[in-house]
Every structure is written in C-alpha cells, then in structure tokens.
Amino acid sequence: MAYLLVFSAAAVGTGLVRTVTTTYLPLLLADIREAPALIGLVMMVNSAAGFAMPLLVGRWSDRRHTPRHGRRPFLVAGTVVATGGLTAVALGQGTSFLVLTLAGTLAYMGVNVVMTAHRALVHDCFDTGRYAQGNGALEVASLVGGLAGLALGGLLTEVGLWAPFVLAAVGMPLLALPTVWRLPVADPGEPEQEQAWPLRFYATAMIRPGVRAYLAAEILWVIGYAALPVFFILYARRVLGLEPALASLWLAAFALGAG
C-alpha cells in the first residue's frame, strides 16, 4: 500500500490541476465577458492538449527512457510547465481572453505531459500480472485529486477566483515529488528498452476491430462529460443562483457517484 501511495501521488496532482483548470477557468473568462460560445471555444485547448501531448510525449519518453533517469525528466518538466500555467492564470485574472487562453494552454500541456509519462510507469513499475493494480491506483488517485480540486477550489472562490489556481500550483509539485523521488526508474526485469515501433505500426493497430471500437467508446465518453464541468458552475450561478462554493459540492457529488 505504501508503494501504491507513492506511485499514485502524482496522479492526485494531475487530477487536482485538470479539475481546477476545467471547472474554474470558465469563471475567470465569464468575468471578462459573458460569451458562452467563446468560452467553450477557449476551453477546447483542453482537448487539443489532451490529443497532441500524449502522442508526442509517449513516443518521446519511450525513446529517452533510460535505466538511469527513466521517465523522471518528463514528470519534472510537465510539473514545471503546469505550475507555470496555473500561476499565470492566477496572475492574469481580469486581463483578457488571450492571456487566460495561453496560460490555460500551458497548464493543460504540462498536466498531459505528466499524465502520459505517469501512465507509462504502470509498465515500468509493475509486472504483467499487476498492471490492473497500477491502473486502479492511478484512477483512484486522479479521482481523489479531482474531488479535492472541486471541493477545496469551490471554497477558495470565496477568497477570490484566482485562489483555486494557487492551490493547484502549490499542490502539483508537492504531490509529484514522492513519485519522482522514490520510484525506481528501470523496467522490472527489462534492463534494455524494447524496440521502438514506427508510427505506421500504431496507425495500423488503431484500425483493428477491437481497438477501433474501444477508441470509439472513449470518444463518446469524452464528448459526454466534456461540457459538464466547464459549464456547470456557470449555469449554477446564472440560472440557479448558487455560489461557486456550493455548486462545486454538487459537482463533487456527481464525480463521487461516477467514481
């Protein structure tokens, strides 16, 4: 259990960062201009980063993964970028859509770098028979981070809409530290890296019937939940008359039920 806690600590941070950015960045944007369509367009930087960064970082980290350093450089670099983006969001409150979009993009890029490298650690740190245990630890840790981001972030909005981003900017490096510092860097029983496959190998794999159906299900799932955290707090404030602190607790209850 101690090992699982150390292994999954960074996932608590990524869950915290992703939830805070997705849920409370629209509030900062709405304070500048009440434009739901434009806010939705800006929030597509989440999807763009989530699509591009895993493709780039996954392949890059496989090639740069060494017995000495493992994937630690990617965990560290992603944490630094995410923390910088969150800090920029907090400092950029009330400036412009462009400033907050660029800052949010940095936060999403950094958190996706960490998530991609961290997910690959399941292979690095667990043998084949324990993959499910590693994946389960990541999912639970991400849920815990997300719930903390919703509940604590909502309460901190009473201080200021910038406060949840300060929480995430401080929490991300602190939570990533145990994973970066304590985990082994070499694959168990695999002192050398496996052969790196060309991109056409993955393109061919994606169109196989089982993989194709799985990817289609993932796309439908993402479409189904994408708008909920982005617009729920805005809807609750404008239509239901609920303050963000209370609305975030309702959203946390939904997340807990989904988990």
Query: Could you read off the pLDDT tens digit of each residue along the chain, which spans 259 residues?
Result: 888 898 899 999 999 999 999 999 999 999 998 888 899 888 888 888 888 888 888 777 777 665 556 788 889 999 999 999 999 999 999 999 999 999 999 999 999 999 998 888 888 788 777 888 888 889 899 999 999 999 999 999 999 999 999 999 999 999 999 988 887 655 544 444 556 677 788 888 888 989 999 999 988 887 777 777 788 888 888 899 988 889 988 888 887 887 7
Helix axes 44-64, 209-238, angle to 10 degrees: 140
pLDDT on residue 198 = 75
pLDDT on residue 196 = 64
pLDDT on residue 188 = 43
How far, CA to CA in Å, does 141 sit from each of 14, 100, 168? 9, 28, 15
Q: What share of the chain is helix, strand, coil (3-state, %, to 5)?
A: 80, 0, 20
Rounded-to-integer distance, Cα 197 and Cα 241, Å? 54
pLDDT on residue 232 = 87
Spell 99-128 as b/e; 16+ CB within 10 A means b.
bbbebbbbbbbbbbbbbbbbbbbbbbbbee
128's tokens: 């084949």
Of 258, 78, 251, residue with least CA distance to 179? 78
DSSP-derived secondary structure for 177-235: HHHHHHS--SBTTB-SPPPPPPHHHHHHHHTSHHHHHHHHHHHHHHHHHHHHHHHHHHH
How far, CA to CA in Å, does 187 sit from each of 65, 131, 170, 183, 194? 10, 13, 30, 11, 10
Rounded-to-integer distance, Cα 212 and Cα 99, Å? 38
pLDDT on residue 96 = 92
Rounded-to-integer distance, Cα 103 and Cα 238, Å? 25
190 φ/ψ angles, rounded to the nearest 5 degrees: -130, 85
pLDDT on residue 68 = 56
